[in-house]
Amino acid sequence: MCHLYHPEWIGDIMRVLIISSHYTPEPVIGAIRPSKLAAFLHARGHEVVILSKSGPWEISDGDGPEVLRTPWIRLPVFRYEDGSLKRNDLPIPTAAEQAAGNFKQRLRRLLADWSHEIFSIPDPEGGWIPFGYRAGKKAIEDSGIEVIFATGPSFSSHIIAARLARRFGVSWVADYRDLWTTGEYYMFGRMRKRIDGWIEQRVLANVACVTAIGQGLTNSLSENFPVVSHMVRNGTDEVVLAPLANRRPLSSARLNLLYVGNNFYGGRRTPKLLFRAAREMQLSPIDVKFHFLGSDPSAVDFMAREEGVLDLVEVHPSVGHMESLEWQSRADGLLLLLWDDPRERDTISGKLFEYAAVRRSIILLGYADGEAAQIVHEHRLGWCVSEPEGSTALLSDLLAKKASASLLDDLPKAYGLSREVQHQKLENILVESANNVMKNYNK
Residue 145 lies in a domain: yes
236 - beta bridge partners? 418
More confident residue, 271 or 415: 271
Report the pLDDT averaged over residues 113-128: 84
Residue 81 lies in a domain: no
Pairing of the two strands 79-80 and 171-176: unpaired
Q: Specify whether 354 is located in the same domain as 426.
A: no
Q: Rounded distance, CA 52 to CA 69, Å? A: 5
Q: Specify whether 139 is located in the same domain as 45.
A: yes
Could you report the per-residue pLDDT of 17-37, keeping only the tens digit for each? Answer: 999 999 998 988 899 999 999
Residue 210 lies in a domain: yes
**Mean pLDDT lowest for which of 55-59, 158-162, 189-193, 406-410?**
55-59
C-beta separation of 292 from 304 below 8 A: no
Q: Specify whether 296 is located in the same domain as 187.
A: no
Residue 148 lies in a domain: yes
Residue 263, Cβ density class (10 Å: 0-12 exposed, 13-18 middle, ≥19 buried): middle
Q: Rounded distance, CA 19 to CA 395, Å? A: 43
Residue 346, Cβ density class (10 Å: 0-12 exposed, 13-18 middle, ≥19 buried): buried
Measuring CA to CA, which residue among 358, 426, 353 is closest to residue 174? 426
pLDDT computed for residue 156 by the predictor? 97
Could you report the per-residue pLDDT of 307-326, keeping only the tens digit for each? Answer: 999 999 999 999 988 899 99
Please, what's the b/e burial string for 43-65 (b: 16 or more CB within 10 A of its CB; e: otherwise)?
eeebbbbbbbbbbeeeeeeeeeb
Q: Is 342 left (phi over 0), alpha (psi -120 to 50) or beta?
A: alpha
Domain of residue 378, CATH code: 3.40.50.2000
Q: Specify whether 198 is located in the same domain as 268.
A: no
Q: Specify whether 386 is located in the same domain as 274.
A: yes
Q: Rounded distance, CA 325 to CA 336, Å? A: 15
Q: Rounded distance, CA 271 to CA 286, Å? A: 19
pLDDT computed for residue 1 by the predictor? 31
- Would you call 92 helix, strand, or coil by DSSP? coil
pLDDT computed for residue 76 by the predictor? 78
C-beta separation of 371 from 215 below 8 A: yes
Residue 350 lies in a domain: yes
Reply yes or no on whether the pLDDT at 83 is more than 50.
no
Report the pLDDT averaged over residues 61-70: 81
Q: Specify whether 212 is located in the same domain as 152.
A: yes
Reply yes or no on whether the pLDDT at 92 is more than 60.
no
Find how far residue 152's CA is from the centre of its chain.
Answer: 9
Q: Specify whether 257 is located in the same domain as 168.
A: no
Q: Rounded distance, CA 99 to CA 97, Å? A: 5
Q: Rounded distance, CA 324 to CA 32, Å? A: 12
Give how far Cα 398 sits from Cα of 260, 293, 305, 391, 414, Å.
20, 21, 24, 11, 21
pLDDT computed for residue 96 by the predictor? 55
C-beta separation of 195 from 184 below 8 A: no
More confident residue, 179 or 116: 179
Residue 112 lies in a domain: no
Reply yes or no on whether the pLDDT at 164 is more than 50.
yes
Transcribe 241-302 into DSSP letters. PPPGGGPPPSSSSSEEEEEES---GGGTS--HHHHHHHHHTT--TTTEEEEEES--HHHHHH
Q: Specify whether 288 is located in the same domain as 344.
A: yes
Q: Specify whether 54 is located in the same domain as 184.
A: yes
Q: Specify whether 61 is located in the same domain as 130.
A: yes
Residue 97 lies in a domain: no
Q: Specify whether 254 is located in the same domain as 157.
A: no
What band does 349 get if pLDDT is binned at 50, 70 and 90? confident
**Mean pLDDT lowest for which of 98-112, 127-141, 263-277?**
98-112
pLDDT computed for residue 77 by the predictor? 55
User: Could you list the residue range(s) of the whole structural domain that residue 127 is in?
Assistant: 15-75+120-233+420-442
pLDDT, the chain, mean:
87
**Mean pLDDT lowest for which of 12-21, 105-114, 167-176, 222-231?**
105-114
What band does 184 get if pLDDT is binned at 50, 70 and 90? confident
Find how far residue 312's CA is from the centre of its chain.
Answer: 27
Q: Rounded distance, CA 331 to CA 257, Å? A: 6
pLDDT computed for residue 101 by the predictor? 54
Q: Rounded distance, CA 125 to CA 76, Å? A: 9
pLDDT computed for residue 405 by the predictor? 64
Domain total in the chain: 2
Pairing of the two strands 79-80 and 73-74: antiparallel
CA 377, 324, 122, 433 dihedral sign is negative
pLDDT computed for residue 443 by the predictor? 38
pLDDT computed for residue 105 by the predictor? 65
More confident residue, 265 or 220: 220
C-beta separation of 348 from 371 below 8 A: yes
What band does 186 get if pLDDT is binned at 50, 70 and 90? confident
Give how far Cα 38 sits from Cα of 5, 45, 49, Å.
23, 11, 8
Report the pLDDT averaged over residues 173-201: 92
Residue 410 lies in a domain: no
Report the pLDDT averaged over residues 418-434: 93
pTM confidence score: 0.76
Q: Specify whether 338 is located in the same domain as 201.
A: no
